[in-house]
Amino acid sequence: MKQKFTVEGMSCVNCSAAVERAVKKLDGLGSVEVSLLGKSMVCEFDENKLTAKKIINTVNKAGYRASLYGEKSEGKSKFLSEKTRLISSILILLPLMYISMGDMMGIPTPHVLHEYPLVSAAIQLALALAVAVINAKFFVNGFKSLVKLSPNMDSLVAMGSSASFLYGIFSMIMLSVGLSENNAELVEKYSHGLYFESAAMILTLVTVGKMLEERAKTKTGSAIAKLSKLAPERSIVIRDGKEVEIASGDIVCGDIVVIRPGASIPVDGIIVEGHSEINEAALTGESEPRFKTVGDEVMTATVNLTGAFKMEAKKVGGDTMLAKIIELVENTSASKAPVARLADKVAAVFIPIVTTIAVVTAAIWLIADYPFDFALSNAISVLVISCPCALGLATPVAITVAVGKCASEGILIKSAEALETLHKTDIAVFDKTGTLTKGHPAVTDAFAYGCEEKELLDIALSLEDKSEHPLARAVCEYARANNAALRESSDFEAIGGRGVSAAIENIRYFAGNAAYMSELGIDISGYSEKLEKLSREGKTVMFFANGEGLLGCIAASDEIAEDAEKALRMLDELGVEAVMLTGDNKLSASATAGRLGITHVISGVLPGEKGSTVTSLIEGGKTVIMTGDGINDAPALTAADVGIAVGAGTDIAMESADIVLVKNSLTDIARAIKYSRSVMTNIKQNLFWAFFYNAICIPIAAGALYPLWHITLSPMLASAAMSCSSIFVVANALRLYKK
C-alpha cells in the first residue's frame, strides 16, 4: 500500500536524506520519497510486513517528527525557530563582544572586569553558554551525524564552536592557577585567551545561513489549498423533480446539476440541456471561451459565462480534472529532490581530516616532550582555524546578496536551490497564453467592404457593446480607440457559438463567425483568401453584415507580450533553447511560435499532461525551467527544475513556482540566469578560498614552522585568521551588487 506522512523538523537536504536512509532500512518497504519543501514523505510498503506506526517510530528515532498526513504530530519541536534563534543570539553576542574585545577596540570596559578577571571570564562563559543553548540544534544534529559517520555542516559548526569552548574553559583553569600562585604573567596570558566570543560568533553567523534555508521553502501546501477552493462550495441539483441547494461535496455521479450564468462548475460532467460559453482558462489556458452544448464535456472550476444549462455529474471528488491537477502538484513536489549543498558534500571528507590532524598534532608534541598546554594549544588552534565560518558563509552570503539584488530588480527568488540550479539551464519552456502572449485578445485588422471603415466600427461598437464575450470586448476597445460612435440598439440576441444580432436604427445587423454568416445566407466566398490568410496567422475573424450583405470583418488575436521576442533572443545568446508548451490547437500555436521564432512547439497538451511533458524533457538529461501564469501550469512549474511565474499570473502559479517575475518582464528570465551564473562563480571562489585558507593555515596552526623558526599560531591568532577568512568571503560576495 501507499501512505503519505507529514515529517517535521527537517531543515536541510541532509535531514531529508537522513529520514530516507532510516526508513529504507525497514523490511517490507518498497519505495520512499521525502519532500523537504513539502515536509512530507510518501512510502509504498507491504502492509503484511510493515505498518505505518513502525515507519513513524523509525522517523521519530532518527530525530524528526512524523505523523500520518492530515493528522497533527504528537511530538513538539525541541528547538526555536531560525528567526528567533538569530535575534536572540545577536542580542547576547553584542554584550559578549563588548566584554571580551571592548578594550582592543578602544571602548572602555568596567574596571571590575580588569580587577577580577575570573568574574569577566565567568560572565563571558555564561553569555556564550546562553548562545549555545539557543543554538543547541547544531550540537544535537552535528554530533549525532558524527556518531552515524555521516558528518554535515552542523557537525562542522558543533566541532568549531566546541573547540573554542574547550580552550576557553582550559584558559579559565590556567587563569585560576595563575591567581592562586600570584603568577601575573600566567594571569595576563590566559585572561586574554578566552575565546568564548568565537564560539558564540560561529553559532550566530551560521544561523544566518540556516535562516536563509528556512525562508527559501516554497508554499506548495498553500497552492494546493487554493486549488481546492476553486470549486464552488455549494451547488444546485435536481432531486425529486425540484431544485435543491446542497454542498458541492455531496454531489454524486448521475446527479443533474443546474449551472446558471456566472457560476463555477462544481464537478466534471456532460451537458444534457441548454448551451453556453465556458471560460476554461483556469484549466486549459485558452484565452477565448468555448461554446458548449448538449453532449459536450465541462470540467470543475471552469466558469459559465452566458447561458444557463443542466449537466449530468460524471466525475466527482478525487476523480475530477481539478483533483488530478492537485494530485500532480503534490506528487511532483514530493519527488523533486532539492539540490545538495556543495559544502555538505565536502564535509564528510573535511571533518575526519581536521579531527585527525588535531589529534595527531597533540600526540606529536606530547611525544616530543613539550608541555601539555603547548600541545593542547596547537591542537585547538587547528580546530579553531579550520572552523567552518568561511565554509558555512560561502554559499548563504552569496545567495543573500543575490536574492536582495534580484528582488530590487523585480525578480523574487523563493528558494536558494532555484538560484543554484538556474545557471545550468538548457531548456526554457514557456506557456503560451498569458506568458508569451498578453492573455486577452486584441483587434489586429479591420476591413470594410460594403461601407466606410468609420461606419463599420460604429456598427461593430453598437452591436458588441452589450456582449460580455472577450472578443466583443476587444472589438469595443478598438472601436472606441478609433472614435467610433455608439448608436442605440434594441432586440439584442446572443447566439451561442455563432455571434450576436441587434436592431440599430430599425435595421437588423449581425456579427459572428463564418458559420453564422453561412446560416444567415450571407455570401463570404469572395473573402475566403483573406479569411485563410488571417486564420494561418492564428487570428479569429468576426464578420459584420446586415440584410443587404457583408459590411466587413474584424480580426483579433492574443497579442504577443511586449518583450517576448527580446527575451527569446537573450536566451538564445545564452545557449538556452526555447520551447512553447500550450493547450491551444496546432494552427494557433504554430502561428504564435512563427511570430516569435520558436521552432520547438508542443501543442494540444491537456492540463494533466503538462507536468509529465516537462518531466520527459528533464529525463532527457536536460536542466529545464518552466515559465507560466495559469492554474493549469502548476504541475509543470513544480515538475521543472526551476518554476518561474509571471507576476500577473494566478496566486497558485506563483506559489507553485520557485521564482516570480514581479514586473511581468520575460527578459528578467535571461537576467536571472546570468545572475545565477555570476553567483555560482562567486560561490565557487568563496569555497576555493575557504579550503585554500585551511590548506595553508592548518599546518601553521599545528606548529609546522615551530622547529625551524619558533613560529606558532595561538588560538587567538587562529581565531583572527578565521575571522579574516569570513570577511574575505563576505567582501567577495558583496561584489555581486555591482553585477
Annotated catalytic residues are 431
Q: What are phi and psi of 364, to 5 degrees?
A: -65, -45
Query: What separation in angstroms does the CA of 293 have from each of 61, 256, 276, 572, 589?
Result: 59, 15, 7, 44, 25
Strands 256-259 and 234-239: antiparallel
Helix axes 196-215, 153-180, angle to 10 degrees: 160
The answer for 45, left when phi > 0, alpha when psi is -120 to 50, beta otherwise, is: beta
Q: How far apart are CA 394 and CA 321, in angstroms?
A: 45
* Chain length of the chain: 739
Grid coordinates belonging to 606: 491537456
Grid coordinates belonging to 176: 585560576
Q: Where are the alpha helices (DSSP H) in 62-195?
A: 82-101, 111-115, 117-134, 136-147, 153-180, 184-191
Q: How far apart are CA 178 and CA 260, in angstroms?
A: 91
Cross-strand bridge partners of residue 427: 577, 624
Strands 411-413 and 659-661: antiparallel
Q: How many CA atoms lie within 13 A of 711 on its CB side?
A: 10
Strand order in 65-68's β-sheet? 29-35, 40-45, 2-8, 65-68
Grid coordinates belonging to 490: 434594441
Grid coordinates belonging to 463: 452591436
Grid coordinates belonging to 149: 559517520
